[in-house]
Structure 1
Amino acid sequence: MGKKIQETNPVSEPIAQLETANGHKSDKKKKKNKNKNQEPEVQGTQKEPILKRKLEETEEQETIKTEKKKKKKYKEEKESGNFQESAKKDKKKKERARNKMKMGKQEEVKPEERVVVSGKDAQEAKYAPLKSFAEAKLSDNVLECCKNFKNPSPIQAHAWPFLLDERDFIGIAKTGSGKTLAFGIPAIMHVLSKRRGKSTKGAKPLCLVLAPTRELADQISDVIHDAGEPCGVRSVCIYGGTSKGPQISSLKAGVDVVIGTPGRLKDLIEMDVLHLMEVSFVVLDEADRMLDMGFRQEVRSILSNTCSARQMIMFSATWPVDVHNLAEEYMEPNPVKVVVGSEDTAANHDVMQIVEVLEDHLRDQRLIALLEKYHKSQQNRVLVFALYQKEAERLDGMLKKSGWNVVSIHGKKLQEQRTKALSLFKKGSCPLMVATDVAARGLDVPDVEVVINYTFPLTTEDYVHRIGRTGRAGKKGVAHTFFTHHNKGLAGELVNVLREAGQIVPPALLKFGTHVKKKESKLYGAHFKEISADAPKAKKITFNSDDED
């Protein structure tokens, strides 16, 4: 007899080999378990798939039974005439579900609109944020300046209850969020409560507002003047670069609120013209800049002349850690702090940020191309930032030679020239302006559509302030920035700012790396010791009356 040839399947053969390797049952054992009424032996984890399958079958049967019951009930209700009532109930359930979904969407808060309140007794009910101007319970003439706004902005809604209760306060919010009125209205109320109808003739000021630049001081002065005039509150703006005569005359005539820059204020104090011993309400606007080494000594000197029992208020859009530690020197322990958005360096989310990495020598050509793109009609407002005074002057001349109608402001110009240039830009008579960082902080020019950073600033905080000149009051804006290899040390911080705002990070920027350099103390350089969170709080500095001389 010839040998029987066994047929093989090329797919089943590897499986059979795998089963033999894993020690599966032999063919003999499989024959024994072939009985239809007998289940094959299953051991260990092999039972799990069978149990799972049985559970699924049980659940499926239960679902079928439930559906049958529903159909039966539906049929009975329809026949008995109760069908309409049942349908109404179902409709109401669906409406409630939809309302819950809507409420959930309404409760979703954008990251830039989140508010964090901290500090001593900050969660008490009396400090609940205001939902309307009526809740502030202020007179109509005080709120006259707010008539064009529907409700208080988030920083105003949270700040007013604390400030009207005479609490020390730190407010951190993006540019264009209504910070000036957030401290301006309480300042006016402070004056009204202290004066109580008394004449201001020859009176010494009760409120002091410090600002880092002349332009910002002038802007704050306009807001407080407009808000205070209907109430009889008198204010004066004091800054350098202009004649002292009119300022001295205003002070001698009597004034309630003084707004000014540190340099000129210190001059008038030393001349024995400005007396601050009755000042019990002090505001530092753009406080992070006011407390850096450029102004710290002057601020300390000015505050030493104010009332020791003063209320201290600080507002800013950025708040570095070292500045916070310095701020507590001037405030009560654990002051109230309200953060709208992020305490970290974060840009306005209403601004589209475009960062372009390029060589230095290509910037002029690229600037002209961008102006032809963004400022073709020469009617919309475009603000170009340079880092240095000479650079701003050169750009001003270069653009004029290229046929552009342009003005410029920087520290080297006379105050009269700066004021005129800013006025032309605000009115739209000359809607293209070149500026240094004197225009970066707090400057409120309506409808600036585009900011171009010809030179990247020295810090990312200044970058955030610069691009905050556009996208104000809920409007959208564009910030186009040139980034060169000279700025590579700030690449990591800029990447973080872009990512936080959901902006595109160009691959060329990532090539510089994403490392963030450790912040240096402005006092002690790179070797300063960071203060831990559980460290004892700094004591508020008070000054004796003898120091006023």
Structure 2
Amino acid sequence: EAVVATPGRLQDLVEEQSLDLSCCSYVVLDEADRLLDLGFEPHVRAILNTCASPRQTLMFSATWPESVRALAAEFARPDPIMIRAAATQHGGEANPDAQPHDGNSGVAGGLKANRDIKQIVEVCEPFQKADKLQQLLHKYHHGQKERCIVFCLYKKEAARVESQLQRKGWRVVSVHGDKTQEAREAALAAFRDGSCKCLIATDVAARGLDIKGVTVVINHTFPLTVEDYVHRIGRTGRAGEKGLAHTLFTKEEKPLAGELQVVLRNAGQDVPQELTKFGTGIKPTKKKEHAMYGAHFRDDGKPMKKATKIVFD
């Protein structure tokens, strides 16, 4: 028997005694760095403590920050084996031998962008982004023949951009947290089969999405970390193909300018002068927070509120 679940819901089921993991001898943590990054560490620890011991524990992670190392050392003993897949130059994988800075993955953690992707960073004002996006779609998606992904930061932004583009006559679909599972699957199916070749997405599609023929990625709003940026642009230029990533960068993302410049230089890309004006220093980005939109999630180490059960008579 196998159980596939998110940490919070799985812990709920265990605490409700609806699920017994005491005989679970095989545990897989997929996107382990992302789980910890999103504040699920208390849930993961609670779940692992209820599983059988000894057991086999597998952790899959695109990066190798200190938080993942600590979890592996504690729950994957004794002497866990590390397997590094693919070259660090392609696909944005991390170099596990590099030392992360301040417990955070990123440039100092060995993250590199795919050299097969041409990266263009355009500095602009926030109010210019809507018009800039129209210009970019006319430039890269003219005739709506090429597969293109437009990344937004939050689901409300994605819904707004989708609506604006549809009113302008663009055929687009979207994937974000406010969509039902059925709607998300339908959108991805349309994008995959080519019936709709422009996808509006949040970072829910930044990892694990492998669709052939994506030639352009547009970052409408820069993500909260440069690591997420590398994962976003990695949706194009896959399997030896060439790709293009065009990013709109504003003063709101100023703290990430230095780290982004390192990624561009390491991939042999041009660094625009306007970007260097924001500074070249690399600042720790442990807290995912945007200057305009605020914190992405709580970072006080406390687990999310326990789900409550509603009973209708």
Residue number in structure 2 paired with 1:171: none
For the residues of structure 1 that align with 2:211 and 2:53, how far apart are their CA atoms? 36
**1:406-421 alignment, distance < 5 Å:** 406-421=172-187
1:328 is paired with a residue of what secondary structure? helix
Deviations 1:448-473 (A, max 9, x none): 11111000000111111111111222
For the residues of structure 1 that align with 2:75 and 2:59, how far apart are their CA atoms? 10
- In structure 2, relative to structure 1, the CA distance for the partners of 1:445 and 1:460 (3 Å cut) is same
For the residues of structure 1 that align with 2:163 and 2:287, how far apart are their CA atoms? 38
1:488 equivalenced with 2:258 (yes/no): no
Q: So what's the TM-score if we normalise by structure 1? A: 0.46
Aligned pair count reads: 268
Partner letter of residue 125 of structure 2? E
1:439 equivalenced with 2:184 (yes/no): no
1:367, CA displacement in angstroms?
Answer: 0.8
1:471 equivalenced with 2:216 (yes/no): no
Q: Is the 8 A contact 2:225 2:285 kept in 1?
A: no
1:272, CA displacement in angstroms?
Answer: 4.1
Q: So what's the TM-score if we normalise by structure 2? A: 0.79
1:300 is paired with a residue of what secondary structure? helix
Residue number in structure 2 paired with 1:315: 60
1:382 is paired with a residue of what secondary structure? strand
For the residues of structure 2 that align with 1:486 and 1:500, how far apart are their CA atoms? 24
1:291 is paired with a residue of what secondary structure? helix
* Greater per-residue helix proportion: 1
> Which has the larger displacement, 263-272 or 457-466?
263-272
Residue number in structure 2 paired with 1:294: 39
1:460 equivalenced with 2:226 (yes/no): yes
- In structure 2, relative to structure 1, the CA distance for the partners of 1:520 and 1:508 (3 Å cut) is same
For the residues of structure 1 that align with 2:175 and 2:286, how far apart are their CA atoms? 30
Pick one of 373, 378, 393 that aligns with 2:139: 373
- In structure 2, relative to structure 1, the CA distance for the partners of 1:508 and 1:424 (3 Å cut) is same
For the residues of structure 2 that align with 1:334 and 1:517, how far apart are their CA atoms? 33
Q: Is the 8 A contact 1:448 1:469 kept in 2?
A: yes
Deviations 1:299-351 (A, max 9, x none): 22222232221222222222223432343222215522234424212112222
For the residues of structure 2 that align with 1:392 and 1:495, how far apart are their CA atoms? 26
For the residues of structure 2 that align with 1:440 and 1:404, how far apart are their CA atoms? 22
**1:175-194 alignment, distance < 5 Å:** none
1:452 is paired with a residue of what secondary structure? strand
For the residues of structure 2 that align with 1:369 and 1:285, how far apart are their CA atoms? 38
Identity %: 56
**1:29-40 alignment, distance < 5 Å:** none
Deviations 1:249-281 (A, max 9, x none): xxxxxxxx3333223333443454444333222
Residue number in structure 2 paired with 1:258: 3
For the residues of structure 2 that align with 1:467 and 1:274, how far apart are their CA atoms? 39
**1:163-178 alignment, distance < 5 Å:** none
Pick one of 343, 361, 364 that aligns with 2:127: 361
Deviations 1:82-102 (A, max 9, x none): xxxxxxxxxxxxxxxxxxxxx
For the residues of structure 2 that align with 1:293 and 1:369, how far apart are their CA atoms? 34
For the residues of structure 1 that align with 2:287 and 2:218, how far apart are their CA atoms? 30
**1:510-529 alignment, distance < 5 Å:** 510-520=276-286
- In structure 2, relative to structure 1, the CA distance for the partners of 1:393 and 1:521 (3 Å cut) is closer
Deviations 1:414-459 (A, max 9, x none): 2222222122112211111111111111122222111110000001
Q: Is the 8 A contact 1:322 1:521 kept in 2?
A: no
1:461 is paired with a residue of what secondary structure? helix
Residue number in structure 2 paired with 1:84: none
For the residues of structure 2 that align with 1:496 and 1:333, how far apart are their CA atoms? 36
For the residues of structure 2 that align with 1:297 and 1:330, how far apart are their CA atoms? 13
Q: Is the 8 A contact 1:380 1:449 kept in 2?
A: yes
For the residues of structure 1 that align with 2:11 and 2:41, how far apart are their CA atoms? 12
- In structure 2, relative to structure 1, the CA distance for the partners of 1:519 and 1:365 (3 Å cut) is closer
For the residues of structure 2 that align with 1:300 and 1:499, how far apart are their CA atoms? 38
1:395, CA displacement in angstroms?
Answer: 0.3
Residue number in structure 2 paired with 1:332: 77
**1:228-307 alignment, distance < 5 Å:** 257-307=2-52
Cα RMSD (Å): 2.1
Partner letter of residue 279 of structure 1? C
Q: Is the 8 A contact 2:72 2:80 kept in 1?
A: no
Q: Is the 8 A contact 1:319 1:345 kept in 2?
A: no
For the residues of structure 2 that align with 1:383 and 1:440, how far apart are their CA atoms? 10
Residue number in structure 2 paired with 1:349: 115
Deviations 1:24-62 (A, max 9, x none): xxxxxxxxxxxxxxxxxxxxxxxxxxxxxxxxxxxxxxx
Partner letter of residue 471 of structure 1? G
**1:390-405 alignment, distance < 5 Å:** 390-405=156-171
Q: Is the 8 A contact 1:381 1:431 kept in 2?
A: yes
Q: Is the 8 A contact 1:286 1:442 kept in 2?
A: no
Q: Is the 8 A contact 2:36 2:67 kept in 1?
A: no
Residue number in structure 1 paired with 2:91: none
Partner letter of residue 60 of structure 2? F
1:521, CA displacement in angstroms?
Answer: 7.9
- In structure 2, relative to structure 1, the CA distance for the partners of 1:471 and 1:278 (3 Å cut) is farther
Q: Is the 8 A contact 1:456 1:487 kept in 2?
A: yes
- In structure 2, relative to structure 1, the CA distance for the partners of 1:322 and 1:262 (3 Å cut) is closer
Structure 1, unpaired ranges of 5+: 1-204, 206-256, 526-549
For the residues of structure 1 that align with 2:208 and 2:177, how far apart are their CA atoms? 16
Partner letter of residue 349 of structure 1? R
1:389, CA displacement in angstroms?
Answer: 1.4
